[in-house]
Structure 1
């Protein structure tokens, strides 16, 4: 299995790389289109702002490469938000691969960013959440979130319900950080590599 972490220029790649290594999964890190095309599984991590991430992807020539990927791709945190059509963070178009909009969290009186462990309610039977206990906790760090849509396969509540995970065709996304989410996160990464 040829697994590749896309080097977006805006993510802590080492943490994800080590999490996969602990699972016995070797993953290369690259921004080269040829390496991305040749991979069996792709991971798209991201931290920071949507505008900075889209600028970095544009500068690296990665937007059409990601948009035309045919293998399973997992967007993580900001990487998931970039898969949607639009982000209110900078009011800009994003990759448009999964229907949905990224908006600032309406957390009411709760502090932002939403940071720490929170419960995730996953759609029963989805392969991404196979063999994970229902309503498991995952680690979040974000101030923007994707509104629920038909592509939502898991939700989380933080003042408002938002999409914790998305899936459409070969594109998947999780708002939380599986590489920092203990056994549930490790199992989700395993499921993405082996079940999608």
Structure 2
């Protein structure tokens, strides 16, 4: 029973990490090239997926390896609906509270389908708020974080910045470690 509860908690927090938001278009690079403003782009991650435990998962562009419950889904350009690659959300820690809310620690890996096989890695501490039990949904909203990008490779090599998160999770099959994700990530680059 404890193992099932832990898996459910891990799954919930993994789903929360995959969610962030912005309304800007993404076309394979930083949208706004003006050095006097902050560039932004968005990614939509969607899918109903079953989590899989991973051990020693190497985070691209870092010396870090993590273990946890991983959820893999497709990422899309929110403006065009075009597939851009894969998102892997790894829940490395979770805590559930009596009111059904959760707190989790996640690493989210974005694997872009571009000529340089670019990646971005986020580290998030996320609060998940349950919706009424009848509909088995949960919501995550994370305001702009300025420094949760852990690494970037390819066109994102040296990327320093943060993200926002806005997600709706379908938790109706959570007991089977399956979650429906609809996550919108917004990225902000810190200019030096």
Which category of TM-score, normalised to the shorter sequence, fits these structures?
Answer: under 0.3
How high is the TM-score relative to the length of structure 2?
0.26
Greater relative contact order structure (CA < 8 Å, 6+ sep): 2
Instruction: Tell me which protein shows more helix as a share of its residues.
Output: 1
Instruction: Tell me which protein shows more strand as a share of its residues.
Output: 2
Structure showing greater radius of gyration is 2
